[in-house]
């Protein structure tokens, strides 16, 4: 499979662009994700000419506005330069299906970046560059490398990257009403694990050849924010039980009892999600169902990523 284009803070892949001339190479990103993602590096601080090494900068609230200035040299003011650079590379951002940023960075941090007010830090800021990135690309999954250590957040981010990748592939090959409906059908069980899919279904019910582009734009604009909610264990149980219904005529009493027990043990936190998923795949290999076979829920991303092993 072609690697998916994903933006990343340059220091996370080992480039020597940090303020101290070092890097923050991330072992998981480079050891695992690089097998599936084509990382496109960006370092806004170097790009605007601060150099390496360079004076440290931080966020300061001045007269109610967030500014990015030098720590030891407050006369160094790079707020507008960082914003301008983010605008300049927007065409490159539009090619991406995800973005991993450096946590705590005054230019690249996604959340809880320190903002100093009267010398006191408050973790309430967003990096100047990343704020523009997010505002200009509302569909784009953006995550910090530090949060990828959380199994739920890691799986959620990677799942959204794959959904957006498939959406962009659909747009590239040419949107049709049938393709839009199939995209929704293939993702419906994933959507169910994140929230109520009925509103999206109602939107698609209004689709016609005349309003296809408008409906598609509204659809993806609602879908991507919905998927940001990390799927709960109880939501997965509801989907697993829904899928189980497709096997009610195929399984004997012992198989049904085993499947029910495995799902219940997952509900109680005794087993990871991979166990009921693997058992369901086993039964559907023996008793194929066209809808389940076409759905992405049982295999939303490469199995080698092992994301379901920790959920």
Under 8 Å between Cβ of 151 and 311:
yes
Handedness of CA 263, 264, 265, 269 (dihedral sign): positive
- pTM, two decimals, is 0.96
Q: Would you state the pLDDT for residue 245? A: 96
- Phi and psi at residue 231, in whole multiples of 5°? -65, 135
Interatomic CA distance for residues 139 and 161, integer angstroms: 10
Interatomic CA distance for residues 136 and 294, integer angstroms: 33
| Average pLDDT of the chain, as a whole number | 96
Interatomic CA distance for residues 301 and 294, integer angstroms: 14
- CA distance between the termini of the chain: 25
Count of beta carbons in the 10 Å neighbourhood of residue 187: 21
The order of strands in the sheet holding 120-125 is: 65-70, 57-62, 113-117, 120-125
Among 83, 10, 93, CA closest to 52: 10
Q: Would you state the pLDDT for residue 216? A: 98
Token digits of residue 30: 């480079």
Q: Would you state the pLDDT for residue 159? A: 98
Interatomic CA distance for residues 145 and 108, integer angstroms: 11
Q: Would you state the pLDDT for residue 196? A: 87
Q: Would you state the pLDDT for residue 249? A: 92
Q: Residue-wise pLDDT tens for the chain (311 aa)?
A: 689 999 999 999 999 999 999 999 999 999 999 999 999 999 999 999 999 999 999 999 999 999 999 999 999 999 999 999 999 999 999 999 999 999 999 999 999 999 999 999 999 999 999 999 999 999 999 999 999 999 999 999 999 999 999 999 999 999 999 999 999 999 999 999 998 889 999 999 999 999 999 999 999 999 999 999 999 999 999 999 999 999 999 999 999 999 999 999 999 999 999 999 999 999 999 999 999 999 999 999 999 999 999 99
Residues 6+ apart with CB under 8 A from 148: 26, 28, 29, 100, 154, 157
Q: Which strand (E) or helix (H) includes residue 139?
A: none
**What's the full length of the chain, in residues?**
311
Per-residue model confidence as pLDDT tens digits over 132-187: 999 999 999 999 999 999 999 999 999 999 999 999 999 999 999 999 999 999 99
Per-residue model confidence as pLDDT tens digits over 39-54: 999 999 999 999 999 9
Interatomic CA distance for residues 55 and 8, integer angstroms: 22
- Phi and psi at residue 71, in whole multiples of 5°? -70, -50
Token digits of residue 210: 């005349």
Among 245, 242, 243, 236, CA closest to 269: 236
């Amino acid at each position: 499979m072609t690697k998916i284009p994903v933006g990343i803070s340059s220091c996370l892949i080992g480039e020597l662009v940090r303020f101290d001339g070092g890097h923050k190479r991330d072992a998981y990103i480079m050891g695992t994700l690089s097998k599936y993602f084509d990382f496109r590096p960006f370092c806004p601080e170097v790009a605007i000419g601060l150099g390496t090494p360079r004076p440290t900068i931080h966020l300061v609230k001045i007269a109610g506005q967030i500014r990015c200035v030098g720590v030891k040299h407050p006369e160094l003011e790079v707020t507008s330069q960082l914003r301008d650079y983010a605008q300049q590379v927007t065409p490159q951002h539009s090619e991406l299906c995800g973005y991993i940023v450096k946590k705590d960075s005054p230019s690249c941090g996604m959340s809880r970046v320190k903002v100093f007010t009267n010398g006191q830090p408050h973790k309430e800021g967003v990096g100047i560059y990343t704020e523009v990135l997010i505002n200009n690309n509302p569909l784009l999954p953006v995550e910090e490398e530090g949060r990828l250590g959380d199994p739920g957040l890691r799986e959620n981010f990677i799942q959204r990257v794959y959904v957006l990748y498939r959406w962009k592939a659909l747009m590239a090959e040419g949107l049709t009403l049938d393709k839009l409906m199939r995209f929704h059908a293939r993702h419906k069980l994933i959507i169910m694990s994140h929230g109520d899919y009925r509103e999206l279904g109602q939107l698609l019910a209004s689709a016609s050849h005349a309003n296809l582009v408008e409906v598609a734009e509204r659809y993806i604009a609602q879908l991507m924010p919905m998927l940001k909610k990390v799927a709960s264990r109880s939501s997965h149980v509801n989907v697993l039980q829904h899928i189980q219904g497709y096997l009610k005529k195929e399984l004997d009493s012992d198989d049904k009892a085993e499947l029910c027990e495995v799902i219940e043990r997952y509900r109680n936190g005794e087993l990871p999600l991979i166990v009921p998923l693997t058992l369901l795949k086993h039964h559907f290999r023996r008793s194929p169902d066209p809808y389940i076979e076409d759905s992405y829920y049982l295999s939303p991303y490469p199995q080698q990523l092992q994301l379901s092993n920790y959920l």
